[in-house]
């Protein structure tokens, strides 16, 4: 189950993400939406690399959200969503 289907948001340090997210997230604006198509070389490497997603192209839809605003209003909505 993804965070989208649970209606949750998520926050994490950029340097802890796969290279495709590190390159695709900077410059996003609050309320903006971006679709990232991440090839294996920017994700988990070629097939047989030891990760269950090795060799796969990953597709994500991201929505930028101001964490401070959601904390004040108590509203939670999806920030990063994979499909």
pLDDT tens digits, one per residue of 3-27 = 556 666 777 788 888 999 999 988 8
Q: Which residues contact 18 (CB under 8 A, 6 or more apart)?
A: 38, 42, 43, 44, 58
Distance, in Å, from the CA atom of 46 to the CA atom of 81, rounded to the nearest integer, reads 23
**pLDDT > 60? residue 35:** yes
pLDDT value, residue 68: 67
pLDDT tens digits, one per residue of 51-62 = 999 999 999 888
Local confidence band at 79 (pLDDT 50, 70, 90 cut-offs)? very low
């Amino acid at each position: 189950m993804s965070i989208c289907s649970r209606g949750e948001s998520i926050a994490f340090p950029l340097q802890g993400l796969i290279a495709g997210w590190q390159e695709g997230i900077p410059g996003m604006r609050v309320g903006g939406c971006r679709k990232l198509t991440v090839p294996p070389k920017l994700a988990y490497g070629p097939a047989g690399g030891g990760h269950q997603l090795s060799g796969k192209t990953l597709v994500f839809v991201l929505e930028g959200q101001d964490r401070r605003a959601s904390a004040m209003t108590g509203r939670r909505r999806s920030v990063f969503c994979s499909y």
